[in-house]
Amino acid sequence: MYMKCGRCSDALPVFMSSSEQKTVAYNAIITGLVENEQVQKAYEMFQLSTNVSAGSYDRKTHSLTPDDFTYTRALSACAGLASSISGRQIHGNLIRTRLSHDTGVANALVNMYAKRSSIKHAVTTFNQMEFRNLVFWNTLMAGSANHGYGKHALELFDQMKKLKTKPDSVKI
C-alpha cells in the first residue's frame, strides 16, 4: 500500500521488520521502488535478497531464489542506473545459473542494454533469443534509434517484415 502511494520510505521499514521475507515479497518491494523511480534502492534490494552484488548467488547466506519476475524487475532498475555494470552482473549470473531465459527476462536484458546505449550487447542478446516477438523488435529498434543508430533501426524494421512479424502502430 505504501508503495502505491509513493511512500517508499515508509514501506521499507515495514518490509525489513517482517519475518516473512519471501521472493514474492522482495518482488513487490523491488517493483514498487522501480515504479517510484528509486532504481538504486531497487537494485540494492535485489542485491540484499540474492547476494548477486558479487556476481554470484550464495544459497548458504540467502534462502531466496530469484524468479523470472525478480530478474525482470531488477534489470528494469539497472536500465535506470548510470552504470551498466549492475545489469551485466545480473546477466552474467543468468548465464551461469539458467539454461534458458524467460521471454520477459530476455526482453528486460535487451531493454537494459539498449537504454544504457550498449546497442552491441542488446543486439547480441536479441540474436540469441529463439523466439522474437513484436516487443523484442520494438525494444531493439527504439534503443537503436534513441542512440543515433537510425539506419540500424530501419534495417531491423525491414528484417522484421521479411520474417513476417507484423508491425504495430508504434513502429509504422
Average pLDDT over residues 129-151: 91
pLDDT higher than 90, residue 151: yes
On the CB side of 44, CA atoms within 13 Å amount to: 7
Q: How confident is the model at residue 40 (pLDDT cuts 50, 70, 90)?
A: very high
Domain ranges of the chain: 8-98
Residue-wise pLDDT for 64-86, tens only, equals 778 899 899 999 999 988 778 89
pLDDT higher than 90, residue 137: yes
Residues 50, 90 contacting (CB under 8 angstroms): no
What single letter denotes the amino acid at residue 77?
A
- Sequential DSSP letters for 61-81: T------HHHHHHHHHHHHTS
Residues 79, 107 contacting (CB under 8 angstroms): no
Nearest CA to 113 out of 148, 75, 149, 64 is that of 75
d(CA 73, CA 88): 14
On the CB side of 172, CA atoms within 13 Å amount to: 5
